[in-house]
Amino acid sequence: MPTAVKTLKIRVKDKHAPLLLQMARQVNFVWNFINALSSRSIRERGQWLSAYDIHPYTKGAAKELGLHSHTLQCVAQEYVTRRRQFKRTRLNWRKSI
């Protein structure tokens, strides 16, 4: 069964913008950490990390960052998916505003 992705454009109230920007920064921080961890693992051990291998390294970070643990797992899964898709050892850094 094919999966369809639909992007919705909605207006976010100004009072929610600071929280959403903070969460975006935290997710970008996790992405960049996983990016550095993965490229270091490939460089030093010659081993490609799966999303399952990344989970122990991000364990406990959810409490510090204020994100749900499932969010960290989804970021790791998305990173591994994109790394395999583009066949690269290191993806671009994610930047926050």
Q: What is the pLDDT of residues 18-48, one digit of tens each?
A: 888 898 999 999 999 999 999 999 899 988 8
User: Do the Cβ atoms of 30 and 65 come closer than 8 Å?
Assistant: yes
pTM for the whole structure: 0.81
Question: Which pLDDT value is given to residue 4?
Answer: 83
For the chain, give every domain's residue range: 47-88
- State the Cα–Cα distance between residues 70 and 30, nearest whole angstrom: 12
Q: Which two tokens stand for residue 14?
A: 């100004």
